[in-house]
Amino acid sequence: MNKIVLITGATSGIGLVCTRRFAANGDRVIITGRNKERLEEIRRELVEKGARVLALVFDVRDRQQAKALVEGLPAEWKEVDVLVNNAGLALGLEAEYEGNPEDWDEMVDTNIKGLLTMTRLVVPGMVARNRGHVINVGSVAGDAAYAGGNVYCATKAAVKALSDGLRIDVADTAVRVTNLKPGLVETNFSNVRFHGDRERAAKLYQGIKPLTGDDIADVAVYAANAPEHVQIAEVLILATHQASGSVIVRK
């Protein structure tokens, strides 16, 4: 059965590829992000291919704006079957005692509080309907800290804890919860982390074939379409020559 899938952070990276994959699967997709022009460009691209797509422009850090738009969804879009909490970012690689407090705020507000906001807005409807699936995009960084990762790693550890906690909270329903934990993925992620320093971002992927957004989207779509009695609770996805968040063999 085709689903209604809501994806946050859909304008680039993993979120964009997930959007295209779910749309190609025949699902109706609600895409969200801060960039109105980019969202409209993606919407038009997919509609031209026959997909049904609705774009909502908001920042997950703005709880009131998110609430107004999600609660104001048209009737035919209200019953969200799959929530992909993808919006997130890393900023900086400084030592914790030298970090930028503004970067800390943005990571915590997006990666943790934004995820909580969307969960709070969408999951009650899933529980009431006794069906639904929450897919949180966590990270290998949530398993163990690495040099310079400090606050980012903490936010992704929180994603794991929040995923596990939600799975417990909905265990008496048919709602499923999945935590995807990618390793090194070549997207715009590193460019954002280094505040637009593309040369520094490119060095992160030298000597290794990293994952792509498609690799993560494959797992997300698989999890969402597993049989109803199967809950893909957590998946760690690494490049072949990556053993953990901090062990990467470059050749």
Catalytic residues: 152
How long is the chain?
Answer: 251
CA 164, distance to chain mean position in Å, is 16
Q: What is the DSSP letter of 143?
A: T
Which residues in 30-63 are b (16+ Cβ under 10 Å) and which e? bbbbeeeebbeebbeebeeeebbbbbbbbbbbeb
Structure tokens at 212: 């792509």
CB-based contact 48:40 (threshold 8 Å): no
Measure the CA–CA gap between 37 and 82, rounded to whole angstroms. 24
Q: Which of 71, 84, 38 lies closest to 57, judged by CA?
A: 38
Helix, strand or coil, per DSSP, at residue 58: coil
Measure the CA–CA gap between 4 and 224, rounded to whole angstroms. 11
Helix, strand or coil, per DSSP, at residue 158: helix
